[in-house]
Amino acid sequence: MEILKSVLEDVIKRNPNEPEFHQAVTEVLESLEPVAKAHPEWVEAGIFDRIVEPERQIVFRVSWVDDAGKVRVNRGYRVQFNSAIGPYKGGIRLHPSVNFSIMKFLGFEQVFKNALTGLPIGGAKGGSDFDPKGKSDGEVMRFCQSFMTELAKHIGPDTDVPAGDIGTGAREIGYMFGQYKRLANEYTGVLTGKGLDWGGSLARTEATGYGLCYFMDAYLKDKGETFQGKTVVVSGSGNVAIFATEKATELGAKVVALSDSNGYIYDPEGIDLAAVKEIKLVKRGRIKEYLEYRPNATYTEGCSGIWKIKCDIALPCATQNEIDVNSAKTLIANGVMAVGEGANMPSTIDAINAFLDAGILFGPAKAANAGGVATSALEMSQNSMRYSWSFEEVDAKLKGIMENIYKNASKAAKDYGHEGNLVVGANIAGCEKVARSMYAHGVAY
Ligand code: NDP
């Protein structure tokens, strides 16, 4: 890195102790060097210095009362990273690991991902260190209401439209939406991932997992391959993992493993998805309960072992940095041909480099998992029109968007001399639109 080296050094100096944010910025800036070379006017206008600094960062106290009557305190966040191409948009993560570094890495990635969808949405992320696991519905509701009481001051259908993420599913979005509606006294599409009876979009629940498979399918087909007959390992067993498993299976693959933060299951005959849906979506249980449905499957404690399972295609759909360089090398040694990132930043930089060096078809998160936010933007469009499209209409639009993202990312990689490298291609294709818009808006933005 030459031109952008000082930008990265500044980020590291100004944001100490934020390793995930440093990692995300490093990965993007390394790809953007050729863009900086091609656009000295953007360098002159400080576009790259500004693009790594959030427009606004909000942190707030969230206090709520648990079932025993005890007052509990959590911390809430919203990082409104960039609004150059549209209102801020990005999910809300509820997980004990949430901190500013994780919020900023996710918000930063979201800017480029949202631009890649071709839809008019800026980038943001929010969340809290609240852990919904093990809490009663009443406790989750009181937390969500308290969280939204503060967040409501900073969002709006034309300002910032949050969505779900880890720990934030339909139940949490419902409680947050109810509280926003009460406070604002208006019925607007201020959140996406809403229930179908009250403004949600068909196919939003499925969108990230389906979109991941549409993206990888386009990629595989471009290389003369398909999902048909392939053995697939999917990590996680949440929203993204479940619907990635569903679509990969529909496309002819056999998914043999899934996990949660305690361990993983291996079912060589192919995952029984109805059982997983019942465990995870109905009972809110643990993945090891799968053995009660399929006694011939195995369960292993710990997460990283899942990458030792031999497979043709790996779809990491749990969380950041779940594939380190050792797991990447094991996957490669076992003959993996494609890796599609459903989670955000699931591979470390060294792991990505190992995949690229080995010629693996690598679909980076900001391109491969953009189907969720793209469909959220379609939910916003439907809310604005006070109209809803059929499942098939939304699904067809999602498929078209994912195929376009693949085409645009691979074209950008080729145009800038990195043919076949979708990490570079996605970063460049996502950046150009945002940079052009920031440039047009002037410096005092
Ligand atoms: P869910 O909360 O529905 O599921 C997350 C899954 O990952 C669970 O199985 C969870 O296990 C596991 N997991 C979470 N944290 C860890 C950890 N530290 N170690 C191991 N496993 C873990 O979340 P989603 O499926 O919505 O999100 C998964 C990933 O996809 C995230 O990176 C998210 O940012 C990304 N993503 C999600 C989108 C969406 O539309 N939902 C859109 C784009 C990206 P456990 O139950 O034990 O915690």
**b (16+ CB within 10 A) / e for 198-226:** ebbbbbbbbbbbbbbbbbbbbbbeeeebe
Cα–ligand 1 centroid distance for 319 (angstroms): 5
Q: Sign (positive/negative) of CA torsion 63, 66, 68, 72?
A: negative
Catalytic site residues?
125
Indicate which atom in ligand 1 lies nearest the CA of residue 237.
9
Q: Which residue has the tokens 């494609």?
A: 338
Q: Which residue has the tokens 């043709």?
A: 312
The best mutation among 240, 245, 287 to test binding of ligand 1, ranked by most ligand atoms within 8 Å of the C-beta, falls on 240
> How far apart (Å, rounded) are the C-alpha atoms in residues 160 and 165?
16
Residues with CB under 6 A from ligand 1: 164-167, 208, 236-241, 260-262, 303, 317-319, 342-344, 369, 372
Cα–ligand 1 centroid distance for 337 (angstroms): 24
Torsional class of 270: left (φ above 0), alpha (ψ -120 to 50), beta (otherwise): left
Q: Is 71 exposed, middle or buried (0-12, 13-18, 19+ CB in 10 A)?
A: exposed
Cα within 13 Å of Cα(163), Cβ side: 28
The reply to whether the predicted model has a pTM over 0.85 is yes
The best mutation among 260, 281, 284, 401 to test binding of ligand 1, ranked by most ligand atoms within 8 Å of the C-beta, falls on 260
> CB within 8 A of 204, min separation 6: which ones?
192, 193, 372, 375, 376, 378, 379, 394
Q: In terms of DSSP bridges, do strands 56-65 and 71-82 run parallel, antiparallel, or are they unpaired?
A: antiparallel
Q: What is the pLDDT along the chain (445 residues), one digit of tens a residue?
A: 899 999 999 999 999 999 999 999 999 999 999 999 999 999 999 999 999 999 999 999 999 999 999 999 999 999 999 999 999 999 999 999 999 999 999 999 999 999 999 999 999 999 999 999 999 999 999 999 999 999 999 999 999 999 999 999 999 999 999 999 999 999 999 999 999 999 999 999 999 999 999 999 999 999 999 999 999 999 999 999 999 999 999 999 999 999 999 999 999 999 999 999 999 999 999 999 999 999 999 999 999 999 999 999 999 999 999 999 999 999 999 999 999 999 999 999 999 999 999 999 999 999 999 999 999 999 999 999 999 999 999 999 999 999 999 999 999 999 999 999 999 999 999 999 999 999 999 987 5
> How far apart (Å, rounded) are the C-alpha atoms in residues 152 and 92?
13
Q: Sign (positive/negative) of CA torsion 53, 58, 61, 67?
A: negative
> How far apart (Å, rounded) are the C-alpha atoms in residues 233 and 312?
8
**Could you tell me which of 335, 295, 328, 294 has the C-alpha nearest to residue 313?**
335
